[in-house]
Amino acid sequence: MSICMEGPAAFPGGLLSLLDAPPAVFRVGGPLLARPVPAGFPSPADDYVEGRIDLNRHLIAHREATFFIRVAGDSMTGFGIHDGDLLVVDRSVEASDRSIVIAVLEGDFTVKQLCHAPQGYLLRAGNADYPDIHVGADLSLTIWGVVKWSIHEIGLCLPTSP
């Protein structure tokens, strides 16, 4: 088995596609409320804004090594990554055990959780319908980048009611 932390410079189409847009397109900001919103019991809202948030500064730690990738498929829903999500991938971060990564396995790109295993590595899906991929000495694995954020529209990810 070989594992490489540096991948190809180009990102081919297929399971995932690279969004080739200038950085200015992602220059997004907005008001930041001074108080976090409770996910439990409601609390009175404050009528003031703390300041503005620059999503570039919040989502991108290493600008030159960060890429945006669109997800196709449902193998990672258990990790909160859904079909159509936009992933923020940092190629300068070294993957560790249980990192969500963009992996190149035998020339094919995939998004999976990287797990250390006794005989190599395991690429784990976040959906029981997809089996784990055992990466042993007979397979070539390259970690293209580490997924730092998944951006999705909430309405698209909600379960349907019975």
| Cβ(132)–Cβ(123) below 8 Å | yes
Judge whether 112 counts as a catalytic residue: yes
From 71, 53, 59, 58, select the one nearest 148 (Cα to Cα): 59
Helical ranges in the chain per DSSP H? 55-59, 154-157
The Cα–Cα gap between 80 and 123 comes to: 16
Catalytic residue among 112, 140, 148, 150: 112
At which residue do the structure tokens 């730690």 appear? 61
At which residue do the structure tokens 């997004």 appear? 28
Question: At 24, which amino acid appears?
Answer: A
Catalytic residue among 2, 17, 43, 75: 75
Judge whether 148 counts as a catalytic residue: no
The Cα–Cα gap between 15 and 108 comes to: 8
The residues carrying an active-site annotation are 75, 112
